[in-house]
Amino acid sequence: MRILICNDDGVFAPGITVLAHTLRSFADVTVVAPETERSTTGHTLTLDHPLRVVEVSPQTFGCSGYPADCALFGLAHLMKDNKPDLVISGINKGANLGQDIFYSGTVAAAREAAFRGVPAISVSSAMNFAHPNPPEDFYQTAADFIEALVKAHIWQEFVPREVLNINVPDLAEADIRGAAITTPGFRHYSEDVSERTDFKGRSYYWIGGIYSGFEKRAGTDCQVVDDAMISITSLNVLGASPDRNEKWREFFKTIPGWGTRS
């Protein structure tokens, strides 16, 4: 099987490194990711200047553009004659829950693949952004879950223009309580704009956005991750398919070791 991996944290980020290493043990994996971090860039495409792409190691490419650029380059150029079975974007450092889905470069790379007719998954580890060195075990928990899905041939279950957005709690695998199909919740941020002054007396601004909790509603991605379970949300891009939650519930019950924990 052929897999294209992208992300928004950068080609050298630990999450994408762990995921690629895990999947390369049994699959043909190509990585295309930004040369530097491109978090919270949404579905930006580079249209006003050329992309620069460098092969940083075998089948691993650093791109000067954004996450959606990386997916587009991989599908429309690098793998155009041998399309992947599946595109996976991640493993992101930090959750992509609730309205954050719309800001996320991680989700955007998966969505770009879905636009181009390729089944796509975005996957994030819901760890603290402020943690300078998050334990690699947390990334491995997410990678092991994705490995189980790929080995179950998950790409065969997608309908056109569908993305699965997966968020994994920042826990060791033994502490994960299971997986659940969810709907997007809502996260609360301060949305502060901080005004400061430079050494010439000119004002400049930082957008704040300090996280302050989520709306506690059963069945949402935010609540499920808080309950130490993996959240799987079907994003039906462009309204191409009806609600898919029941179909996905039945599929995830078949994943050994993940769908039956309590």
What is the secondary structure of 167-235 as a DSSP string? EEESS-GGG---EEEEB---EEE---EEEEE-TTS-EEEEE---EEEE---TTBHHHHHHTT-EEEEEE
Q: The tokens 């043990």 sit on which residue?
A: 25
Q: Which residues pair with 163 in a beta bridge?
A: 120, 235
Neighbour-count burial for 164-174, b at 16+ CB within 10 Å, e otherwise = bbbbbbbbebe
Structure tokens given for 55:
């092969």
Q: What's the pLDDT score for residue 259?
A: 62
Q: What's the pLDDT score for residue 262?
A: 42
Q: What's the pLDDT score for residue 157?
A: 95
Structure tokens given for 23:
């999947």
End-to-end alpha carbon distance in the chain: 32
User: Does CATH place domain 2-186+216-252 in 3.40.1210.10?
Assistant: yes
Q: How far apart are the C-alpha atoms of 155 and 158, rounded to whole Å? A: 6
Summarised one tens digit per residue, pLDDT across range 170-204 is 999 999 999 999 999 999 988 788 899 999 999 99
Strand boundaries in the chain, DSSP class E: 2-6, 28-34, 53-57, 60-63, 86-93, 120-126, 162-169, 179-182, 187-189, 193-197, 203-207, 211-214, 230-236
Q: What's the pLDDT score for residue 137?
A: 86
Summarised one tens digit per residue, pLDDT across range 224-243 is 999 999 999 999 888 766 67
Domain boundaries defined on the chain: 2-186+216-252
Q: For the chain, which ranges sit under pLDDT 70?
A: 129-132, 240-242, 259-262
Structure tokens given for 41:
């860039």
Q: How far apart are the C-alpha atoms of 51 and 57, rounded to whole Å? A: 18
